[in-house]
Structures are given as structure tokens and as C-alpha cells.
Copies of this chain bind each other. A is one copy, B any other.
């Protein structure tokens, strides 16, 4: 008999079935006991009436691995409308101790650090693991949407010779006795690749040695990157990003339907045109509404991002908001200035449910402009020679964006801490598991 998934039980009513999975819960009642078996996809209720079997199951710790053969019977009271009766149960791999948490409870009864310390077991909890099905579907939606727009997926190196963007906040690596660094982003590589394919994307780890310990930051996270050539300006990138977000939501809806239902995720509506506000106008709005003296600021504080998000929802009915035209000086050297007002840039952030989710914009594309930009920031062009070559030999108008995967999933599930949307988070204090 071939093993089936618990989620396939409804298609096998009236048949003998074979299930395999973990002892999720044993509920011993007066006359009958219920064994709940968890496999990689779902749960199955198994009715235990045989006292010998009940005794055998009572002797097993939760999480023991079991094989169950039995009859699938329609039972409206059972979860999923089917239960398994007359079971024969084999213990394939008994747990050797009781798990540190009850995985059958709707939430894990422990503090976040304890949960993360015990990720190997905590991640098995059905609601916890459902989060990372959203992650998997989001990655697929990102790639799928971009592939349909002729983007080519690339993999660029994570060990680099020099700090990529700012020169600060990089992790040093001992590379055969030389000092190398972990890439802060694939930015410079994806720009080079615009010269090759015009449109490229990458899903991969990025590393930020920021010593801040906040609920919004990780020191290693997954960045969804895209970059494209022959754009008008940053607004072309914003339109592509809008399609990508819609594709991600659609793919999550299709591929992670069970997780969306279990977690009661309210998937966002992605407007055909996401509202946009200029950075200067945004500060003005905040100053007028709150009385705060923010007009000289060069960046948005987290509280201002939240305020603007609420404003966009109120005024435009949108959970997404583009803030465009961040001050050129606050953005990296490759940022393209706004030709009409060069102290502002052709860049954007995308806010989603109160948090900066995406950063992007148009990049400089002329070699001479790069030399000026590096000089203006006191950066030596020599270590960038391998990168500047791309601009020396003809590079079109181009731009792109980077979306933080864990932040996206955290916003979907309404988690305040991005660690709750990360399998094995890395922060200043956490290097394991």
C-alpha cells in the first residue's frame, strides 16, 4: 500500500490507507482515544479503541515517528471531515524525551528567544511552519513574475574583495590570509549584468554588520533583487515592482492556500497604480499634521514610515505607498539624481503596512558621472575598476530594487519582530541554531 499525505484523506474515504508522520497529540478520553498524526502537510485524526494500542501510544513521547495503517471514514466531526479507524500503528523512530513545548497548542507557550533556541522543534508547530510556506510561495511568485518579463535569474558572489556600497557595516572574512568581506547586496553585480541581459534578478543572502538590535533588522537576510535597463527613469522600476508584488500575492494565494487559511492572513490588494508621494512633500505633510519639526530631515524615521502608511490607507485606500525623491546625499553613490532637482534623487522606498519593504531607484549610467559621484564622496575609484568597466563600455539608463523577504512575510503574518518570519535568524546576539 502506498503512503498518502494526510491532506489526501478526503479522496480516500472508504479505503484502507497508509499514513506516516509524527505523534502530534494523543487525547485519551474515557471510552476512546484520539491520536493526531502530523505529516509534512497536515494533520489526521486516528481513532484508537484497542486498549493495548492505547497503552503502547501512551508510552511514547510526542513527536515520535509513526506509521499508521487504517480505514479512512467520513466523519463530519473530524478535522477535514475524515478520520482513520481500526489503526495498526508502528513506531518508526520514538522520541527520546518530551519536547520542550506542546506543539499541538495553537501558539507556542514560550518567549521568542526560547522558541528560536529550539528552532529544530519549534518550527514543527503547524502555525509556525505555515509562515515559511508563505516565504516559499513568495520567492516563487517573485521569480515567476520576473521570468515572464524576460528577467534572467543570476547568482552572484557573496565573498567580495571590497565593501560594496558604503564601506561601512561589512563582515570581514579571513580569505586564505587576506581580508575579504561578505557582500552587503548584489548591487554592483546586478548592474554589471544589465550590460549582459538587460534584465536580471537574484534571490540570495545579504549580510549587514549593523550592530543595532531592533525588531526590524537582521544581520543576514534574504534579498529579492531585480535590475533592468532601458528604463525611462525610476518610475519604470516602480511599475515593474508593482507587477512583481501583485504576482507574489497571487502566487501566495495559489501555492500557500492552506497556510493563508490557517494563519488567517489578509493578503493585500496591490493597486494597479500604487500611490506615490515625494519625500519633501511627505515631510511637509508630517510636519503639518504632527507639528514636528521634520522639514530638514534627510531620511524617514520608523515612526514617520508608520504615519505615512496610515495616511496612504486613509487617503488612498492603499496598504502600499511609494515615497520618491530621497535626498541624493543620503543614498549610495550610484544613485541617479533627479535632473530637475539634483539634491533629490530618482529613488524610492516602498512602505507596506507601516514598514519600509523595498528600496530602489534609477542608477547613474555614464562613466563620467560615476567618477564625479565617487569623488564627491571621497571614494577612491581604483577598487571599483572592475565595476566601472561596465559603464566605460556603454550602459543604458537602468534601475532596480531590493525587497526584504523576511520583512514581507512578517508584514503578511502581522509579526512585529522580523525574527518571527526567519527560519534561523542571525542578529548581534544570535549565531545559532
A353 CB–B CB distance under 8 Å: no
Counting chain B CB atoms within 10 Å of each CB, the highest count among A155, A171, A426 belongs to A155
Identify the stretch in A43-51, A312-320, A340-348, A389-397 within 8 Å (CB) of chain B at 4 or more residues: A389-397
Q: Which of A27-35, A172-180, A272-280, A282-290 lies at the interface?
A: A172-180
Provide the bound-state CA to CA distance between A154 and B136, in Å: 7
| Closest 8 pairs between A and B when the two form their complex, measured CB to CB | A40-B198, A386-B433, A63-B393, A63-B394, A120-B389, A120-B390, A161-B431, A161-B432
Question: Bound state CA distance, A229 and B22, in angstroms?
Answer: 12
How far in angstroms is the closest Cβ of chain B from A243? 16
**Pairwise interchain contact B389-A198, C-beta atoms closer than 8 A:** no
CA distance A426 to B181 in the complex (A): 13
Interface residues of A, Cβ cutoff 8 Å to B: 3, 5, 20, 22-23, 39-41, 61-65, 92-97, 99, 117-121, 123-124, 129, 132-133, 135-136, 139-140, 143, 147, 150, 152-162, 171-176, 178, 180, 182, 189, 192-193, 195-199, 203-205, 207, 209, 211, 219-220, 222, 229-230, 365-368, 386-387, 389-390, 392-397, 405, 423-426, 428, 431-433
Number of copies: 2
- Candidate in A178, A395, A431 with the most chain B CB atoms within 10 angstroms: A431
* Residues on B with beta carbons closer than 8 Å to the beta carbon of A173: 171-174, 182
Closest residue on chain B to residue A170 by CB atoms: B174
B133 with A152: CB separation less than 8 A: yes
Contacts of A129 in B (CB 8 A): 196-197
With A192-B433, A394-B23 in contact, do A389 and B121 touch (Cβ < 8 Å)? yes
A133's nearest neighbour on chain B, judged by CB, is B152
The chain B residue with its CB closest to the CB of A368 is: B96
Given contacts A120-B195, A171-B173, are A40 and B431 in contact (CB under 8 A)? no
Q: Which residues of B contact A139 (CB under 8 A)?
A: 153, 155
Q: Please state if B423 and A155 are interface contacts (CB–CB under 8 Å).
A: yes
The answer to whether A39 touches B198, judged by C-beta atoms less than 8 angstroms apart, is yes
The docked-state distance in angstroms from the alpha carbon of A124 to that of B428 is 40
Collect the chain B residues with CB atoms within 8 Å of residue A205's CB. Answer: 155, 157-158, 204-205
Contact B158–A41 (Cβ < 8 Å): no
Closest to A182 in B: B173
**A95 partner, pick from B5, B64, B156, B393, beta carbons under 8 A:** B393
A23 to B121, CA, bound (A): 57
Given contacts A97-B393, A389-B121, contact A154 B423 (CB under 8 A): yes
- Bound complex: CA of A181 vs CA of B3, how far in Å? 40
Contacts of A95 in B (CB 8 A): 392-394
Residues of B within 8 A of A22 (CB): 195, 394
Determine if B211 and A176 form an interchain contact, defined as CB atoms under 8 angstroms apart.
Answer: yes
Q: Are B396 and A92 in contact (CB under 8 A)?
A: yes
Q: Shortest beta-carbon distance, A309 to chain B, in Å?
A: 27
Look across to chain B and name the residue whose beta carbon is closest to the beta carbon of A147: B140
With contacts A156-B424, A172-B174 known, what are 6 further pairs, Cβ within 8 A? Answer: A23-B394, A40-B199, A119-B192, A132-B152, A140-B147, A158-B207
Closest Cβ–Cβ distance, residue A95 to chain B (whole Å): 4
Given known A40-B150, A123-B196, A397-B92, contact A431–B389 (CB-CB < 8 A): no
A175 adjacent to B180 (CB under 8 Å)? no
**Separation in Å of the A420 CB from the closest CB of chain B?**
15
> Are A20 and B405 neighbours in the complex by a CB distance under 8 Å?
no
Contact of A431 among B94, B172, B178 (CB under 8 A): B178
| Docked complex Cα distance between A230 and B119 (Å) | 21
On whether the beta carbons of A64 and B394 are closer than 8 Å, the reply is yes
Chain B residues positioned under 8 Å from A65 (CB to CB) = 394-396
Task: Collect the chain B residues with CB atoms within 8 Å of residue A180's CB.
Answer: 431
Note all chain B residues with C-beta closer than 8 A to A162.
Answer: 432
Q: Which residues of B contact A41 (CB under 8 A)?
A: 150
- Per the bound structure, the CA–CA distance linking A61 and B119 in Å amounts to 57
